[in-house]
Structure 1
């Protein structure tokens, strides 16, 4: 039986401040996100392609998504707005939320701030890509030190505890310190030569923002490595020059990655999608020496599943505020 999140006529609000300090289990997060992808093929989940609006002169970026996660019977409506996404005006602003509804009762669950929920599910997806494409990896490099970069390595270690060497490349001292402190009991090495570091990494994670000044190139990467792109920091020539290309969803990739298109405006063929890889229906690589490119585009079905997990944690902890809304 579904729990009661708010009385009729009221809406349960979960701002980020009410989500801080929840007992989030990273292994469980990976499991929840993996099951959401599997259910897209086996469980009747749905995830239409997102709708995107670009402001004039790169002033803003907005997009919305809707999805249904069959595993938790949760419907999710998500909206994101970024002002000054390329950091050219020194006025960056980010707002995002999800509205969750219980699809068994029709009752609202919560309106949640997802400033960290989004990076949490993205980092779990990155870990799933890396584990599938390079399960024997020993060295991982993350490019970028924002929220995405700070969550990437802890989630990767949760999925691949045998990793021996963790590295980060970035330009902001505070961000570098945050990444270094993100993995308890493990050393994270700050690198200054991106080309050298990328050449020795089994897993490269492009988690930088639009203002990234350096990007990993295809000819820097060693045979057998995998590059996962969920932001910036991995050049388009890795996508075009990879031996094997995988994505969370091909249609979503075509809708969101115009910066990866070649001079002819085209994208190379995607060889496999993550739900099929997780179900053993498609390979994460064809050869041990393949350089694999993985495109991690956010999918609202994982927001629905992980949002429900976080909402249940918050409910058990007595978090949030109920307001008269309807």
Structure 2
């Protein structure tokens, strides 16, 4: 048998169907497998590119999904922080049952799926009981699916609001909501601090923030603040919270150190996989202000990538390339 890998481009994956409910279930299973000790996920490796005249950073992640028997390698490179024009990310999958490669894929669609799925899981487990309002700040690739995913996980949400500065991102966010929930409306807001103060759930995924940086103590009592690798969060936000959760405390130390502020930070109260597994609560009291640091973990990329690749290959998409001949 020859050893070949399926090469799947962004176009190959663009219209492969995966509903919000399916994506949330896949990501939740990824966290649960890790919590049960059958998966492995070393801390993300980050390297600023040492060129004084450029703003660039490279990431790498390695992981194993023990329920799917898939090993994944993910790489990301970004030059510049102002736009996604020079941002390239890939994931490769290897089948640990057969010992053979499976797929090499553009990872934009995977990130745009697993990130809002993680946000939805956090909201389901960490929002105060009876939460009715959600605010999304940011309209980049990883934020445009967030509000319909939140509504899928928490159908009791009544008020959905959005702050963004890029017309294309705003239009795409509204289009995605219409696709999954055609009868629901999104309210656009301009005053971020005022909207934060009125929202049970606040998700911040803005880059170079064109808004006042969000403070945890600006939430209403019982509010939930979710940072998705955002520069739009105030330094020291961790210390302002009553309860702190991270998808990975190790990755918080790598990519979220500034959130501790000048006074330092004692540590997280819980990691999300343990909350998903039901071992640690998502909050201790209805009135607590909860801060969650959401950093991508490849154990959530792998199940989403595997599902998309399996469906794409079954539909005859992509190329089969024998790299090792």
TM-score, normalising length from structure 2? Answer: 0.93
2-structure distance, mates of 1:91, 1:227: 24
Unpaired runs of at least 5, structure 2: none
1:80 to 76, 81, 95: 76
1:62 to 54, 58, 64: 58
Corresponding residue number in structure 2 for 1:156: 150
Q: CA deviation at 1:44?
A: 1.1
1:121 to 95, 114, 127: 114
Corresponding residue number in structure 1 for 2:17: 23
- Asked if residue 288 in structure 1 is aligned to residue 286 in structure 2, the reply is yes
Corresponding residue number in structure 2 for 1:310: 308
Q: CA deviation at 1:31?
A: 0.8
Q: CA deviation at 1:210?
A: 3.6
Provide, for residues 170-227 of structure 1, a one-character-per-residue CA deviation record: whole Å limited to 9, x for no partner.
1112211221222121211110011111111110001112455432223321000100
Q: Secondary structure at the match of 1:82?
A: strand
Task: Indicate the RMSD between aligned Cα atoms, in angstroms.
Answer: 1.7
Corresponding residue number in structure 2 for 1:99: 92
- Asked if residue 34 in structure 1 is aligned to residue 33 in structure 2, the reply is no
2-structure distance, mates of 1:175, 1:289: 33
Provide, for residues 95-147 of structure 1, a one-character-per-residue CA deviation record: whole Å limited to 9, x for no partner.
01001001111111100001121121111111111110115221100110111
- Aligned residue pairs, count: 316
Q: CA deviation at 1:305?
A: 1.5
2-structure distance, mates of 1:92, 1:23: 25
2-structure distance, mates of 1:182, 1:241: 33
1:219 to 214, 217, 220: 217
Q: CA deviation at 1:310?
A: 1.1
2-structure distance, mates of 1:218, 1:47: 29
Provide, for residues 238-293 of structure 1, a one-character-per-residue CA deviation record: whole Å limited to 9, x for no partner.
322000001111112111113313214x3342001111111211111111100000
Matched-pair contact (CA < 8 Å) for 1:13–1:111? yes
Matched-pair contact (CA < 8 Å) for 1:65–1:78? yes
Equivalent positions of 1:184-223 (< 5 A) are: 184=178, 185=182, 186-223=184-221
Matched-pair contact (CA < 8 Å) for 2:5–2:103? yes
Provide, for residues 58-99 of structure 1, a one-character-per-residue CA deviation record: whole Å limited to 9, x for no partner.
6101010100001111100000000012x2xx7941001001
